[in-house]
Amino acid sequence: MGNTGRQRAESTPDERKDKHQRERLVQLARSAGKELSTFVREIEEACPPGTPPAEALLDAAVVMAEQDQLKPALALLERSAALYEEQHDTAGLARVYVNMGPVYGMLGNIEKGISCSLKAETLAHDLPPDSDLILHYASDLGGMYTETEQWDEAMRYFQLACDTARGTGNKELEADALLIMSQVAIAQGNAGRARELADQGGAVGIGLADKGFQARALQTLGDAEELDGRHQCALELFQKALDMEADQPDAELRQQLFWEMSEAYEQLGNTELAEDYRSRAAEIGGDEAESGD
């Protein structure tokens, strides 16, 4: 605990400069109000010497997106894209569109988000291989296609993310992609494929000694049992997942497991336990809402 406090106190000059920049951007965004054009112009005019304006705008957009200032972020990205277009800078444009896609998605315009991320993919084909860029647009497209229930496309892009992560040795992202794909397989009603992917993701999780990944694998295995109508087996797997989750707490996963257990108990005719687990799941949702306030 003491070391953590010391590290925070002894921030580097670059970290302090970055923090100041973030605070300044938020201040500018608030002062601009609805006049986003004013905000964008102020950021462009405040571009540090030696930094191309398009790059400064893109960097500022990333900061604003991290601050959940999505509309200002989008305005900055649009201006950055226009500047990169004028310069015929394919690499810069790819970076803009790969960030623009998820911003549109978070603003609720999924179709526009997909279009921007596909544009990033097209631009990436004309550039030297960049695993970070591929992981970015593949994960985003997988997520947005999942939102629109386009399961085959979601599976294709998560597979690309998985293969790219495996190629770079990023086991965490590989496990995450495998386990997301296992849930897509559940949505497709393919219990066998879901089990296969869950086993693979769980195995990577074991190698990482990460109980969160292992719990998610058990969750999918339970879902597969539910698809096959084996509700008691599903309950046993959900309980094992909860035991794993207790060692590496994840409120969202715990809530999902409670809901799934309530449904399994409902199928078994145990309405009392079904209601009990529904109440537990609802309590977690209530707690999260209060913490958000």
What ranges do the domains of the chain cover? 170-293
67 Cβ neighbours under 8 A, 6+ residues apart: 22, 25, 26
> 131-147 and 110-124 are packed helices; what angle lies between their axes, rounded to 10 degrees?
150
**Class for the domain spanning 170-293:** mainly alpha
Distance CA 235, CA 258 (A): 10
**pLDDT computed for residue 50 by the predictor:** 86
Distances (CA, A) of 132 to 83, 173, 186, 247: 23, 11, 28, 31
pLDDT at 142: 97
The tally of CA atoms less than 13 A away on the side-chain side of residue 169 is 0
Query: Taking Cα atoms as reference points, which of 160, 158, 213, 154 lies closest to residue 188?
Result: 154
Helix (H, G, I), strand (E, B) or coil at 169: coil
pLDDT in tens, the chain (293 residues): 333 333 333 445 455 445 565 566 556 655 555 588 888 988 888 888 888 999 999 999 998 999 899 999 999 999 999 999 999 999 999 999 999 999 999 999 999 999 999 999 999 999 999 999 999 999 999 999 999 999 999 999 999 999 999 999 999 999 999 999 999 999 999 999 999 999 999 999 999 999 999 999 999 999 999 999 999 999 999 999 999 999 999 999 999 999 999 999 999 999 999 999 999 999 997 655 455 54
pLDDT at site 32: 52
What's the per-residue H, E or C state across 17-67?
Answer: HHHHHHHHHHHHHHHHCCCHHHHHHHHHHCCCCCCCHHHHHHHHHHHHHHC
CA angle 181, 183, 186 (to 5 degrees): 115
Give the tens place of pLDDT for each residue, 39-59. 898 888 888 888 899 999 999
**pLDDT in the model for residue 10:** 41
